[in-house]
Amino acid sequence: MRPPRSSRPGPAASFGARSPHAGIHTWCTAARFALSGLAHAWRTQPNFRTEVGCAALAIILAVLLRVPLTPILLSCALVLSLELVNTAIEAVVDLVSPEFHPLAKIAKDAGAGAVLLASVFALLVGASEFLPRLWSAAGM
């Protein structure tokens, strides 16, 4: 019995393309799949929504306080990206191991640990950037 076919084109689909627009079409198709993944995470992952809200707040605060945006943006991108990777890990683990298995637990816990670690360091980056500006604004 053959496994069901994926709705995504395989890697061979992009090889040998002769159209000059094939690269743009391939990129647009990949972007559509990526946006679908983002939408899924937004709909199903409360932590992702919370992290997006915190990222938006941090970016707005950085602009208002004239804090360098680069470390804030990179920290936010890291946390959000790892949350998406964690979501993917959880989905694959649930697919291949619907019953409890110690290795499935390790995979899920390690993914969650990566998000936690990035979040803690993002808070440290935020504190190192925002606190001096807040203290100087408060006259301390």
Domains in the chain: ranges and CATH:
46-137 (1.10.287.3610)
pTM: 0.82
Of residues 115, 91, 93, the one with CA closest to residue 36 = 91
pLDDT band at 95 (very low <50, low <70, confident <90, very high): very high
Residue 99 counted as an annotated binding residue:
yes
* Model pLDDT for residues 123-134, shown as the tens digit of each residue: 999 999 999 999
Residue 108 counted as an annotated binding residue:
yes
Residue 109 counted as an annotated binding residue:
yes
Active-site positions read: 83
Give the HSE-up count for residue 126: Cα atoms under 13 Å, Cβ half-sphere. 20
Residue 88 has pLDDT above 70, yes or no: yes
pLDDT band at 11 (very low <50, low <70, confident <90, very high): low
Residue 33 counted as an annotated binding residue:
no
- Per-residue tokens: 50: 């919370």
* Model pLDDT for residues 66-78, shown as the tens digit of each residue: 999 999 999 999 9
Residue 15, classed as helix, strand or coil, is coil
Which pairs from 69-74 meet CB under 8 Å and 24+ separation? 71/125, 71/129, 72/125, 72/126, 72/129
Residue 90 counted as an annotated binding residue:
yes
* Model pLDDT for residues 16-44, shown as the tens digit of each residue: 556 667 788 899 999 999 999 999 999 99
